[in-house]
Structure formats: structure tokens, C-alpha cells
Copies of this chain bind each other. A is one copy, B any other.
Amino acid sequence: MTTEATLIEKIRRAIPSRPGGFLRLGIGDDAAVLRSFTRGRPARGVLSDWVFTSDSFLEGVHFLPSRHPSRAVGYKALARALSDIAAMGAVPRVFLLNLAFPQKLTGSWLDQFLGGMARAARNFRVVLAGGDISQFPFVAISIAVLGEVPAGKAVKRSGARPGDLLFVSGTLGAAQLGLELILRQGKPTGSLLRSPALQTHLFPNPRLELGAWLADRGLVSAMIDTSDGFSTDLARLCQASRVGVRVWADRLPGVQVPLGLRRKGLSSLELALHGGEDYELVFAVPSRLARRIPSSHRGVRLTQVGEFVRGREVRLIDSVDRASKLAPRGWDHFR
């Protein structure tokens, strides 16, 4: 079976990609980490590292023109790329936009798209530095971002240790709930558009302030953002850190699911575990530092939802302490 992970491994083996010199961290994390360099050698006396990531946002894959307003497409294309910067504990500085789209969208679609992207750029204080445009039958967006992090303080996926505590920011499952509403009810307007689930789905808030705060204070041993769903992203963090984890189901900060959708089988727990695109942070905190994690940071709730353990198993613990295997059932592009 082809999966995203096997394809990434294939690419990694085929193309020169070994970290070294100025490249401190390469393929396999939310972003690459680079040290400033001079003629190929790391520069001395520089207090920041650079963080470098890129992200695609494609018509029919990541969004549907019939359902997603172009303003949200522009906003979200940038916001989700910034979330990878947040997951490293870095601050984004500049981005590049590669935009391919059909000629017929050069009018109001493009204006709205740019308006949405401008809103995200202003909100998160990043500057557009370049890119390119092409005519293409589908909308295909690619965003590359450079961010800054204090030297040596970028947070990897690979640092979690048995005994560390598992935290998550905000709410899990809201973006997926928003998507389910859109898929059933069409392009959102009025009160539907203003609902929290829709706002999270269309205009997610990458946790940049939280990520930078955690990294700056050295409170976290590993971090990832929930782009493909909590179960999938947590499994990636565990694999990179070579640890297992026990997740307490009744502690997960889920969303209320409207009765109509519950009747169709959507549950708050399923959404929290496997729903994608919340762009919350999942992070590991050494137990001695746990008391320094507040219950919220600038209005964003922080919840302890489990603990890391020896081994490799990702387990879900229910309210009567029964454990079951938690399979990664979030988004995989090639499954």
C-alpha cells in the first residue's frame, strides 16, 4: 500500500537531503531549520535560526470552489503554512506565493482571494517577498515561508520522552465539523458562516504566539500541529520521538455536534480524534515543567490529554480505564 510516509521516504532516499553544515534539521519535521551561514559555513554570533517550510493548497483536494469562498481560500492557504512555523516555535517573517489559476478567475475571485490572503498576512505579520503566477485549468497554490527562532530553540517532533505529559491547544474537531456542515449545506452564508465551526474551518488561527512562547521558555520537548488530524499527527510525533502515548478520551477538548449530524453518526470524539485542519498545537511537556503550563494562553485553552510512555503504542483510554489502540485515521494523501 502506498502511503504518504512511504513516498516521502522514497523522495528522501532519491534526492540529496542529509542535514549538515547550515542545515540543522531537514525532511521529516514541520519545517527545516537553518543556521545563518557565510560562504557555506555557519556564521558565528548569530542569535537566531531560520525556519523554512512550504505547503500546497489545491482545488479539489484541499478546497472546493463550489463550497469555499475565495476569501477563505486565500486566507487559509497562508494560515496553514504559518501553522508549520508555529509548530517549530518560530515567528514567521516572509513568504513566497506561487499561484496557478484559470484566466476566468482574474476578476472578483482573485480580488477576494487576495483580500483573504492580505488579512492573514496582516494578522500574522508576514510580508510577501515574491513568487510566480501561471495560467492553469485548476487553482493550485504553493506557499513557502521563512521564519525566525532563537538559535537552538526550534522545537522538533522528535524530543518527547516517556513520562512527558501530552497537551493540546484549543478545541479538536471544529474544522472537520465545519467541513461536514459545508458539504451538507453548500457554500456558507449568514449565520452558518458565522458559526465557530465554520470560522475554524475557513479562517483557522495558527497558534503562533503560543508556539513561540512555549519554545522561548523551553517548556516543550516536542511539538506538531494538527493539520491532518490529532490521531495522525500524534502518531507522527510518537514515531519521530520513538515513544508511545496514552490518550485520555474524556479529556479531549471536543466540539458539540448538532443533533442532526449526531443522528447521522458524527460524534464529538471521532471528530476530535480524526478530524483534520484544526491547526492546533500538540506538544510534550516534561513532567517537572507541567505546573508552568497555564490553563490558557492569551485566550487559547491548553489541556493535558495524556502522557507519553515507553514502547511505541498509541492508546486511547476510556472513562472506565479500558485501553484500545488508537489508529491514525486522519488525512493521508496517498492511502
Interface residues of A (CB under 8 A from B): 2, 4, 7-8, 10-12, 14-19, 22-23, 26-27, 29, 31-32, 34, 36-40, 43, 45-48, 50, 52-56, 58, 60-62, 91, 93-94, 96-100, 103, 106, 110-111, 114-115, 117-118, 121-122, 126-138, 140, 142, 144, 146, 148, 150, 333-334
- How many copies altogether? 2
Question: Are A117 and B334 in contact, CB atoms less than 8 angstroms apart?
Answer: no
Q: List 13 A-B contacts (CB under 8 A).
A: A7-B110, A11-B133, A15-B97, A22-B94, A34-B129, A36-B46, A43-B45, A54-B142, A56-B100, A56-B134, A56-B140, A103-B334, A140-B142
Smallest beta-carbon distance A304→chain B, Å:
30
Q: Chain B nearest CB: distance from A115 CB in Å?
A: 7
Structural contact, A148 and B37, CB atoms closer than 8 A: yes
Q: Is the CB of A55 within 8 A of B132?
A: yes
Distance (Å) between the CB of A247 and the closest chain B CB?
A: 26
The answer to whether residues A127 and B2 also contact, given A40-B148, A56-B100, A96-B32 and a CB cut-off of 8 A, is no
A124 to chain B, nearest CB (A): 10
Would B114 and A11 count as touching, CB distance under 8 A? yes
A22 to chain B, nearest CB (A): 7
- CB-CB under 8 A from A334, the residues of chain B are 103, 106, 133, 135
Complex Cα distance A3/B55, Å? 26
Say how far A266's CB is from chain B's closest CB, in angstroms: 25
Interface pair B58/A132, CB less than 8 Å apart: no
